[in-house]
Amino acid sequence: MGSITRRSLLALTAGAAAGTAAGCAGGGEPKPHSAAPPEGPTDGTTSRPGGRLLGDGSTSDTGPQPFQPVPERLEPGQTPPQFVIFSWDGAGELDNGLFARFRRLAHEHDAKMTFFLSGLYCLPESKKDLYRPPNNPVGASAIGYFKDEHIKMTLEQVRGAWLEGHEIGTHFNGHFCEGSGSVGNWSPADWKSEIGQAIDFVTRWRTNTGFSDVEPLPFDYGKELIGGRTPCLLGQNQWLPTASALGFRYDASSPGGNQVWPSKKMGVWDLPLQLIPFPGHTFEVLSMDYNMLANQSHTATSSDPRNYPYWREQATASYIAGFERAYQTNRAPFYIGNHFEEWNGGIYMDAVEKTLEHIASLGASDVRMVSFQQFVDWLDAQDPALLARLRTLDVGSKPSQGWRAFTGAV
């Protein structure tokens, strides 16, 4: 597909069973140890002086991202840390304030997260004809376009999140999951068009919206963007050739991974949502809110409220069981995926909050709540032979001879 990079692409676009069902975003309006957390507001108003404006002034280069840990190489004989990555699909802010809520939670517990931003959340509906989704009509989208006020709120939250050390990844644009235009049917060339447009919408929001009262995003998205998650966990095999050619370092789109140490596909770290214990059932469930919902209310997003207390407890217990299984055995990284949605009375938001609070309450120095970017930084700093040895540990298995001997044998 030729020699392309994220930078050249930016320039080019500038003018199974129910228990393992793939995750899906409802999204839209109509539809190493972390550095110390920042002080100050977490409402999107965090400021940073200076910076060189880029393009039309929608983004700026303010220097290295703050609050990033320096990855340390695991030495022979050491026990690997337990990484936990909370990630959010869509990552837009509406009146329910969920983006701000989880920024505050992360701030309180020294956690970093990954926010997968949908490019359309930076594009007003009046300009929807700028979006040309592969194999779909011009301007079409399976998620709603935001009102101007919500685009502003989203930009403020994204700005503050990056300044606090969180990662801004991509969830692409129109979220097509069904029919002939589904992302599952897209070619590598289609994905190249889609990601190019997603970058364009994020880096040209000032031109597209006309906003003059919103500060620029404080980062160069062409440099910062290193990973994403495809809509509905579809199309990874066709997306990866493009991701690899663009220099993306990881992908979080695989629809049914296990709690084991990751490997690469086509030179890109493959970080799938994982099957975890599901209390009350013999099958396991993917570690995402939508998959909890699919098993509890059969994809209905508003059910009998009398079920909510048990479902909230069940979802929380499932996430905690997944964490504990990894922490007590093979120390495989634990990935949790979510959407900023108040499905079934907001119980899945509560479950994520309770899970994070539980993990933080352990006060364990070997547990690190990080972004995907921080995790792959750690992976890339390791001895490949040691990572290969870690990958020999199956789900729920720990070294029979103990960690000192296991990692010391490399």
Question: 96: domain CATH number?
Answer: 3.20.20.370
The reply to whether 25 falls in a domain is no
**Cα separation, 394 vs 261, whole angstroms:** 9
Give the pLDDT score at 255. 81
Low-confidence residues of the chain, pLDDT below 50?
1-41, 44-45
The reply to whether 229 falls in a domain is yes
The residue count of the chain comes to: 410
Give the pLDDT score at 50. 67
Q: Nearest Cα to 89, choosing from 75, 80, 102, 107?
A: 102
Token reading at 87: 């990630």
For the chain, how far is it from start to end, CA to CA, in angstroms?
Answer: 38
Q: Which domain does 215 fall in, by range?
A: 75-408
Give the pLDDT score at 42. 52
Residue 217: phi and psi, rounded to 5, are -65, 140
Angle formed at CA 195 by CA 44 and CA 378, multiple of 5 degrees: 65
Token reading at 111: 């956690």
**Cα separation, 255 vs 21, whole angstroms:** 8
Contacts 24+ apart (CB under 8 A), 4-7: 4/192, 4/245, 4/246, 5/246, 5/247, 6/199, 6/222, 6/223, 6/225, 6/246, 6/247, 6/248, 7/222, 7/223
Mean residue pLDDT of the chain comes to 91
**Cα separation, 263 vs 233, whole angstroms:** 18
The pLDDT tens digits for 279-318 are 999 999 999 999 999 999 999 999 999 999 999 999 999 9
| Cα atoms in the 13 Å half-sphere on the side-chain side of 369 | 27
The reply to whether 66 falls in a domain is no
The reply to whether 20 falls in a domain is no
The reply to whether 254 falls in a domain is yes
Decide if 139 contacts 129 (C-beta within 8 A).
Answer: yes
Structural domain count of the chain: 1
Decide if 244 contacts 104 (C-beta within 8 A).
Answer: no
The reply to whether 115 falls in a domain is yes
In the chain, the percentage of residues whose pLDDT exceeds 70 is 88
Give the pLDDT score at 256. 82
Report the sign of the C-alpha dihedral through residues 301, 304, 307, 309, in that order: positive
Decide if 229 contacts 171 (C-beta within 8 A).
Answer: yes
Give the pLDDT score at 20. 42
The reply to whether 8 falls in a domain is no
Angle formed at CA 172 by CA 171 and CA 177, multiple of 5 degrees: 85
**Cα separation, 196 vs 134, whole angstroms:** 12
Which residue do the tokens 């990973």 mark? 227
The reply to whether 4 falls in a domain is no
**Cα separation, 332 vs 242, whole angstroms:** 27
